[in-house]
Amino acid sequence: MKILVTGGAGFIGSNLVDRFIAEGHEVAIIDNLATGRRSNINPGASFHEVSITDADAVAEVFAHERPEVASHHAAQMDVRRSVKEPQFDAETNIIGTINVIEAGRAVGTRKFVFASSGGAIYGDAEVVPTPETAPLQPMSHYGTSKRAGELYFGLYGRLYGLGWTVLRYANVYGPRQNPHGEAGVNAIFANMMLRGETPTIFGRGDKTRDYVFVADVVEANVRALTLGDGEFFNIGTGVQTTDQEVYDAVAAAVGFTQPANYGEERAGDVRHSCVDPSKARAILGWEPTVEFREGVRRTVEYQREREIG
């Protein structure tokens, strides 16, 4: 199968490209390397250094590659930047998504798999773990732009018969996660501890998130190539993990013995975010397989070996 992955030099996208190539698919990548790394690019894929905000360039890549399926992972994913720079967030996550959809429609791409956000879209949900049927009440521009992307895929499905599957990720972590960004607390903590620095927990350490290992996310994407048309799926563990538990797990993997620093809780942070993956289990036959502390150990070892920083 010919598959095009936007954001294929990034954390999740590059892991996905590796899996597709290992399974014998022909893969093309679009990435502007703003947050992706050239070192992440699988040499077996064709690479196009293009921004999804450049409609003409994206259309040229699709016309050249003519993918059967497109996996749309390129995005502006910094929640705080989305609040500070809402125009930039919308240009990338809304206009960029439209550019990708239009380019695919023009060349007959039959299906898109869209990486959305289970954490940002539901906001402070009343039901935790949160099912796909819960009210969508994003608390950031990022969450709103991701929801807009979902709506556009639904629209193109109704108007033109475009196939799509939306995967709403919980907090994804694992090898290749950027330890210098706003997102990715596991990678940030690991990087600091490996340098002998003490990370800061914002608040009392009792906020919770749902952490899903990147290899499990990749497996969900593989299944979505042929299953789940026209459906939304939460991709998470359904298990709440506190900030303090994250700190303790990373410290144990690193061998770091200093207690955390604590700072003021940040305005706008969702207190509890955890998704219910039951629908993905029932329709995609997917479920998470990597236990949190094992995933943290693999993440720390990756960073230790590459001395990221």
- Band (182; pLDDT cuts 50, 70, 90): low
Task: Answer yes or no: 142 catalytic.
Answer: yes
- Short-list 205, 209, 186, 197, CA closest to 264: 205
pLDDT attached to residue 184: 87
In this predicted structure, the answer to whether residue 248 has a pLDDT above a threshold of 50 is yes
At 276-290, the pLDDT tens digits run 999 999 999 999 999
- Short-list 291, 278, 273, CA closest to 121: 273
Helix (H) or strand (E) holding 116: strand 111-117
In this predicted structure, the answer to whether residue 230 has a pLDDT above a threshold of 70 is yes
Secondary structure letter of residue 94 according to DSSP:
I
In this predicted structure, the answer to whether residue 233 has a pLDDT above a threshold of 60 is yes
Helix (H, G, I), strand (E, B) or coil at 267: coil
Q: Report all structural domains of the chain as residue ranges with CATH numbers, in order of start.
A: 2-172+211-235 (3.40.50.720), 174-209+239-276+285-306 (3.90.25.10)
pLDDT attached to residue 32: 98
- In the set 142, 152, 169, 211, the catalytic residue is 142
What is the C-alpha separation between 266 and 127, in angstroms, rounded?
23
In this predicted structure, the answer to whether residue 180 has a pLDDT above a threshold of 80 is no
pLDDT attached to residue 150: 98
Q: What is the mean pLDDT of residues 218-225?
A: 98
Among 102-116, 223-237, 255-269, whose mean pLDDT is lowest? 255-269
